[in-house]
A and B are shown apart, each in its own frame.
Chain A
Amino acid sequence: MSKRSKLLREENNESEKKLSKETNDVLTDIVVYIRNGNISDYSQELVRRDITQMLIDGENRGLSAAEIVGEDYKAFCDAVISEMPQLSPTQRVLTGIRDVLPAICAGCAIWTVFSVIGQLIKGGDWTHVPLTVSELITGVCIVLMAVLIVVYITKNVFAERPMKIILSVIAVLCIAAAAYLLIPNSTTAVLMSPHIAAILAFIVVVYIIYRILDEALD
């Protein structure tokens, strides 16, 4: 995220504190839905600022969020998103890659820590971490599942409360299943055994790419 987006986000975070809990909940839903729109981070923050100020101003007049924004929040968000500059297909793809990179970094770090602990317990060579085929497939599945869950939840943010609870339960179950699958399977063939320094270098490189993309995509 660029500096201007970051500053605006901080300003918006501060402004949100002026709202009542009920209105803040509505604003959170609106922002979550807008995050899924095909617009840049900066555009998202600009719109967030406008809506937050609109809600603060309205609350001072004694109006509810529905009276300020209108009753159909989803329609409001769709209308707002359609009026903002849309990302090009290339920007869309790069944004998707950028959003996945932190998950790859975190996944690699967690896998490395657990593998090193496992090797230390076994008394083996902890400097080389064996990567099995099942671990690689599971890692890819976890990232894909995480992306799908985020997209699904943001698209259904205006669903009724029972639907939200069902979605949350499904999300937790998916993550639990993925975590179970991640347990190293001794019968699976070892794909490679990279040195721990190589893994750390990989994580750093992925993180740098993430930062570059994050800065550029605005």
Chain B
Amino acid sequence: MIQLRVKMSFFEKTSLFFVYYKQFFVDKQTTMHYNILNYYVKQDRGGNLIPSQMLKGTLEGCILAIIGRRETYGYEIAETLGSYGFGRIAEGTIYPLLLRLEKNGLVHTEYRASELGPKRKYYSLSEAGKKELAGFVESYREMENAVNRLLKEEKCDE
């Protein structure tokens, strides 16, 4: 399992606060449009300790991984992310990302009535999505190994 929840020092938390402050207050006043990342950070600034820059490159891949397991829908994806330590995520937070995946042809979508009654949009991986996911896993493993090696050496130096 990919472990993204990290223990942070006081200094790291303080730095993160300023990153959030800039994105939440400064960017809000100077830009008309928010990118999805800023939006994600704003929604979860209370409980999520994963820096936004780390999430930027991984969240889309993680959503692909969840969809790759079985056909699923927005709320279930948000809940699954939460259960893996991504913090509490509103369904609306990941919806724009799902739209992007759909626009890029990485997922197939289908509207079906759920057991509870309302229709739900179910997502499944397309062939292009499977390739994208394989590429993401490979890239992430490489990065993970590189970071682990680096941090291991750092630990030895200490």
Contacts and interface: CB of A to CB of B under 8 A. Distances in A.
User: DSSP majority for the A interface?
Assistant: helix
B121 A83 contact: no
Interface stretch (B8-16, B33-41, B64-72, B139-147): B33-41
A50 B42 contact: no
B114 to A, nearest CB: 7
A110 interface: no
Nearest to A155: B32
Interface string B16-48: 000000000000000011111011001100000
User: DSSP majority for the B interface?
Assistant: helix
Interface stretch (A65-73, A96-104, A176-184): A65-73
A80 B95 contact: yes
Contacts of A203: none
Nearest to B92: A69
A47 B99 CA distance: 9
A155 B143 CA distance: 42
Interface in A51-94: 51, 53-54, 56-58, 60-61, 67-72, 75-76, 78-80, 82-85
Contact of B103 (A50, A69, A85): A85
A4 interface: no
Interface in B56-94: 74-75, 90-93
B27 to A, nearest CB: 10
Contacts of A49: 111
B54 interface: no
Given A57-B116, A70-B43, A78 B34 contact: yes
A76 B120 contact: no
A47 B98 CA distance: 12
A84 B90 contact: no
A6 interface: no
B75 A57 contact: yes
B118 A70 contact: no
A18 interface: yes
A58 B91 contact: yes
A83 B42 CA distance: 18
Contacts of B117: 60
B120 A53 contact: yes
Contact of A54 (B39, B95, B103): B95
Interface residues of B, number: 29
B90 A75 contact: no
A189 B119 CA distance: 62
Contacts of A75: 34, 38-39, 42
B149 interface: no
Nearest to B38: A75
B99 A80 contact: yes
Given A60-B118, A75-B38, A68 B96 contact: no
A78 B33 contact: yes
A75 B90 CA distance: 13
Interface of B: 32-36, 38-39, 42-43, 74-75, 90-93, 95-97, 99-100, 103, 111, 114, 116-121
- CB-CB nearest 3 A-B residue pairs: A69-B92, A79-B96, A83-B99
Given A68-B92, A70-B93, 12 more contacts: A47-B99, A50-B95, A51-B95, A53-B121, A57-B120, A68-B91, A71-B43, A72-B42, A78-B33, A79-B39, A80-B99, A83-B97
